[in-house]
Chain A
Amino acid sequence: MKQDINFLFVGVGGQGILTASDIAAEVGLEAGYDAKKSEVHGFSQRGGVVESHVRWGEAVAAPLAEKGTVDYLIATELLEAARWIDWLRPGGAVIVNNQRILPMSVTVGDAVYPPDEDILAALYAWTEDVTVVEGLSTAERLGNSRLANTVLLGTLSTRLDVLPGTWLGVIGRRVPAKYVDLNREAFWEGRRAAGGD
């Protein structure tokens, strides 16, 4: 009997959330779980909030997890981690990219983007299990800012009972051929950052 695992990927339109969550869902299926994933396209994608649910289990019914039952919240942006933190179950884990993307409401001065320490305090108030990943700087060091999500997946992979090879196989199929090696590197960077190997 496979244990149910709920993932919630959140970020900003254009950050590649949909591909990252696609990869997580396919890895689940390959690892012998039933898997579902769900997302929303269209209007919100123009710089708006993007969320994608991934569920692994013996037999997954609902495509969306329930608020308060998410095991892993993977945020590609700091503010979005705070926005969605109450979807996490007690004791759940947050994996957050330390990138800030200012919403228009902030750039035009109608709202204030909270300082990083306030955001982190809000996350820690919910759970002790918070991992801040230097996704963007790692990705830029590797030469392509779009690799940040793969770094996050690498970090996530250390928490799950699935072999790295399964992740790398799926990543290899899902990214353009010329970027496969870079993505593998980014994945290992993410694992190492989490103390994995």
Chain B
Amino acid sequence: MKTSGTSAGGQRLLSGNEAIALGAWEAGVRYASAYPGTPSTEILPALARYAGVRAEWASNEKVALDGAAGASFAGARALAAMKHVGVNVASDSLMTLSYTGVGAGLVLVSADDPGAFSSQNEQDNRQYARFGKFPCLEPADSQEAKDFTAFAFELSEQFDTPVMLRSTTRLSHSKSAVDVKMPAAAPEVGPLPSFERKPRKYVMIPAHARPRHPEVEARLQDLAEYAETCPLNRVEWGDKRIGVISGGVAYQYAREIFAGFSFLKLGMTYPLPVGMIRDFAAEVDALVVVEELDPFIEEQVRALGLEVVGKEVFPATGELTLAKARQGALKAALPIREQSQVSDAVSDSGSRSGAQPGTEPPKLEIPGRPPALCPGCPHRAVYFNLRKRKMMVAGDIGCYAIGVLPPFEEMDMLISMGASIGMAHGAKQAGSPDKIVATIGDSTFFHSGLPELASTIYNRGVTCTMILDNGTTAMTGGQDNPATGVTLQGETTQQIDIESVVRAMGVEDLWVVDALDVQGVEKAIQEATVIDDRPSVIIVNGACVFTPQFQRRPVVTVDPETCNGCGFCFRVGCPAILKSDEVDAKTKRPKAQIDPLLCTGCTVCLQVCPRKAIYQTSQEEV
């Protein structure tokens, strides 16, 4: 096996995601599937490196969970991993998997994103555990991520239930020390036996589903009883003036802010150990629940009739931080220790506390640094042209969401994976007078764009769908997908041709254009959007700059004699195009210059320059 870090046993720094993969492998997982999504993405590539595991990119999260369900029913330990909103996609299967239970252990990793660092919302997926009536485990560091994952498989089999392992951005993408056995070895699992038929358990027709429901309720009772002795829940006695109930990464913040006080550290946050909570509450003066996002534990504690300090002082939105936990504690007048190194004024307001007391720092306006399309990005000409032609644009999830930011500001709606096509269709069918275009990437198209396009075509839709095929799942770091011809384990496979798929759906008004051909993209948009009685599709082909298929070309440069500072090239939003110090005498505007280190030679700026002031350098200068 190949992993980062030292080759000897002992302690190694692993990210939460790497630890989850290691824990699953040590537990003998045979099948794992996922759709890439921050912050869950790195789990599957880590698993794919281990021998004996079949690790796959599914085309969406439901497909991933379905694959894991089938493997589990067939007797193999299985894992599905996804980001929080991915569980929404998988939830159709998830809610009924609670009824079927499992064959071999089945673990769903939900990686939530408090703070919405890379997501369209910050939903709290612990609610799914309560909704679906299955257990939720919340590790607080990488060691626990590894241990809890292995434990989750045991729990799944012991109680015949899917188990959710809930991570968050701050767990998945933090590294902390993990005890690693060397040489690491997965248990011998042997060949799978033949499938044992259990239609009343696995075939959820109504007649079978109804009798399963009482079993789900009984299982939840059993799990609640088990929670009282579950080794993942523990009491850490300290000063009993404050008793903190916490789990997951929130526990780490609480541990610093409430250092020295008593803790009920929950590793299993659903179902809760009611007796343990009552006993703990009885011993402490003030009961405090510290958790990120929803008052999930808090509401259940309140339902026991216990008084608790919670979301009235700790925020229910955004990522929890030490500062927020401290402020909450102070607001509730809890007797925590004052911060030793820094006055609260600093952490509250960011005001200065520097080496020269009494002097104010000079006012410095610090420009923001929003994300931008990379130099050479194949999405650039698309949004430049859509803006130029004043389209209404339904967007989707991917790097091309940057199209909503300056200088394009050319996206009018975005909610979820694949939604662009359906939203465009609905707006038009309802009578919108605007010309509407849906923009969707290749991976997103296979994720959930396919049924949306089918529905548009079936319902006599008239919108234009632009499929931006950059040959990878770019936003999450460049994962393969059904259109790339390579599997997660590196095998060559059938490359599903998007053009053939669209043609097979019966779309005749189809353009296939080169992403770096600015006029070609514009012409296609122009022609496709005059059609108002049938659906059209434009496939825009151009490799992401991070793929091996991307070809750098000679850099382009600006002739300062010809440039008059018209600023047209700034509108393509390329980080390589800068304002030079030289101002045009006539227009009084700064001329353009191009950073040769950043330029990839895509020539989009060259093509839009009205004065032909940008030219490509010679071939030798690549």
User: Chain A interface (Cβ within 8 Å of chain B)?
Assistant: 12-13, 22, 25-26, 29, 34-49, 60-69, 79-80, 82-83, 86, 89-91, 102-114, 118-119, 121-122, 125-129, 145, 173-174
Which B residue sits closest to A85, measured CB to CB? Answer: B361
CB <8 Å contact, A66 and B323:
yes
Which B residue sits closest to A26, measured CB to CB? Answer: B13
User: Given known contacts A46-B373, A91-B355, is B342 in contact with A122 (CB within 8 Å)?
Assistant: no
Report the Cα distance A126→B346, complex, angstroms.
12
Interface size on B, residues (CB 8 A): 73
CB <8 Å contact, A40 and B118:
yes
CB <8 Å contact, A108 and B570:
yes
Pick 20 A–B contacts, CB within 8 A, sort by A.
Answer: A22-B13, A36-B174, A36-B175, A37-B174, A37-B176, A38-B175, A41-B173, A43-B401, A43-B475, A63-B170, A66-B339, A66-B342, A102-B578, A104-B406, A105-B406, A107-B578, A108-B406, A125-B354, A126-B355, A173-B5
CB <8 Å contact, B359 and A104:
no
CB <8 Å contact, A103 and B350:
no
Question: What residues of chain B lie closer than 8 Å to A60, measured between beta carbons?
Answer: 176
CB <8 Å contact, B118 and A106:
no
CB <8 Å contact, A42 and B352:
no
Q: Which of the listed residues B5, B354, B372 has the most CB atoms from chain A within 10 Å of its own CB?
A: B354
Q: Which of B321, B342, B366, B371 contacts A44 (CB 8 A)?
A: B371
CB <8 Å contact, B322 and A44:
no
CB <8 Å contact, A90 and B353:
yes
Question: What residues of chain B lie closer than 8 Å to A65, measured between beta carbons?
Answer: 322
Question: What residues of chain A lie closer than 8 Å to B367, measured between beta carbons?
Answer: 79, 103, 105-106, 110-113
User: Given known contacts A41-B477, A48-B370, A103-B369, is B322 in contact with A64 (CB within 8 Å)?
Assistant: yes
B587 at the interface (CB under 8 A from A): no
Q: Which of the listed residues A22, A67, A111 has the most CB atoms from chain B within 10 Å of its own CB?
A: A67
Question: What residues of chain A lie closer than 8 Å to B372, measured between beta carbons?
Answer: 46-48, 104
User: Given known contacts A41-B118, A103-B368, is B173 in contact with A46 (CB within 8 Å)?
Assistant: no
Report the Cα distance A98→B581, complex, angstroms.
20
B420: shortest Cβ distance to chain A, in Å?
17
Question: What residues of chain A lie closer than 8 Å to B355, measured between beta carbons?
Answer: 90-91, 126-129
Q: Which of A35, A61, A103 contacts B370 (CB 8 A)?
A: A103
B38 at the interface (CB under 8 A from A): yes
Given contacts A67-B347, A79-B366, A114-B365, 20 further A-B contacts (CB under 8 A): A29-B177, A41-B38, A41-B118, A42-B39, A43-B401, A44-B117, A46-B399, A47-B374, A63-B252, A64-B170, A66-B342, A68-B342, A82-B364, A90-B353, A102-B578, A111-B367, A112-B365, A114-B366, A122-B364, A125-B361
Q: Which of B12, B173, B597 contacts A39 (CB 8 A)?
A: B173
Report the Cα distance A80→B364, complex, angstroms.
12
Which A residue sits closest to B401, measured CB to CB? Answer: A43
CB <8 Å contact, B118 and A90:
no
CB <8 Å contact, A22 and B175:
yes
B326 at the interface (CB under 8 A from A): yes
B427: shortest Cβ distance to chain A, in Å?
25
B579 at the interface (CB under 8 A from A): yes
Report the Cα distance A91→B341, complex, angstroms.
11
Contact mask B33-62 → A, CB, 8 Å, 1/0?
A: 000001101000000000000000000000
Q: Which of A22, A43, A128, A145 contacts B118 (CB 8 A)?
A: A43
B37: shortest Cβ distance to chain A, in Å?
9
B72 at the interface (CB under 8 A from A): no
Report the Cα distance A118→B367, complex, angstroms.
13
User: Given known contacts A86-B346, A122-B364, A125-B359, is B371 in contact with A43 (CB within 8 Å)?
Assistant: yes
Q: Which of the listed residues A13, A38, A68, A129 has the most CB atoms from chain B within 10 Å of its own CB?
A: A68
CB <8 Å contact, B350 and A40:
no
B249 at the interface (CB under 8 A from A): yes
CB <8 Å contact, B573 and A108:
yes
Report the Cα distance A171→B597, complex, angstroms.
26
CB <8 Å contact, A47 and B342:
no
Question: What residues of chain B lie closer than 8 Å to A90, measured between beta carbons?
Answer: 341-342, 353-355
Which B residue sits closest to A53, measured CB to CB? Answer: B174
Report the Cα distance A112→B570, complex, angstroms.
15
CB <8 Å contact, B346 and A67:
yes
Question: What residues of chain B lie closer than 8 Å to A67, measured between beta carbons?
Answer: 323, 346-347, 350
User: Given known contacts A41-B39, A61-B256, A68-B341, is B350 in contact with A86 (CB within 8 Å)?
Assistant: yes
B169 at the interface (CB under 8 A from A): yes
B21 at the interface (CB under 8 A from A): no
B476 at the interface (CB under 8 A from A): yes
CB <8 Å contact, B370 and A104:
yes
Contact mask B309-343 → A, CB, 8 Å, 1/0?
A: 00000000000011100100000000000010110
A182: shortest Cβ distance to chain B, in Å?
18
Which A residue sits closest to B406, measured CB to CB? Answer: A108
Report the Cα distance A37→B12, complex, angstroms.
13
Q: Which 8 A-B pairs have CB atoms at the shortest separation, nearest pair first?
A: A42-B118, A125-B361, A111-B367, A42-B38, A68-B342, A68-B346, A38-B174, A46-B371
CB <8 Å contact, B364 and A42:
no
CB <8 Å contact, A68 and B353:
yes
Report the Cα distance A62→B369, complex, angstroms.
27
A68: shortest Cβ distance to chain B, in Å?
4
Question: What residues of chain A lie closer than 8 Å to B352, measured between beta carbons?
Answer: 86, 125-126
